[in-house]
Copies of this chain bind each other. A is one copy, B any other.
Amino acid sequence: MKQQNTKQKILDASLDFFSKHGYSGASIRQIAREVGVRESAIYNHYKSKEEIFNSILDEFKTRTITTKILSDDLLDDLVNPEKFLKHFAARLIDHWNSPDERKFIRLLLMEQFTKIGSRELSVTEHLTELRSICKMIFGEMAKHGVIKEIDPELLAEEFTAQLFFIRTELLSSDNPEKIKFVHEKVSRHVEFFWNGIKA
Contact = CB atoms under 8 A, between A and B. Distances in A.
Contacts of A183: none
Interface residues of A, number: 40
State the majority secondary structure of interface residues on A: helix
A175 to B, nearest CB: 14
Contact of A24 (B22, B122, B168): B22
B110 A22 contact: yes
Interface string A157-198: 110011011101101100000000000000011001101110
A115 interface: yes
Contacts of A162: 157-158, 161-162
Contacts of A166: 161
Given A24-B25, A25-B24, A25-B25, A19 B113 contact: yes
Interface in A1-23: 19-23
B158 A20 contact: no
A22 B20 CA distance: 13
Contacts of A157: 162
A124 interface: yes
29 contacts: A20-B114, A21-B24, A21-B114, A22-B22, A22-B23, A22-B24, A24-B24, A106-B113, A109-B109, A109-B112, A109-B113, A110-B110, A110-B111, A110-B113, A110-B114, A112-B172, A118-B172, A123-B168, A124-B169, A150-B192, A154-B188, A158-B162, A158-B189, A158-B192, A161-B161, A161-B162, A161-B165, A192-B196, A196-B197
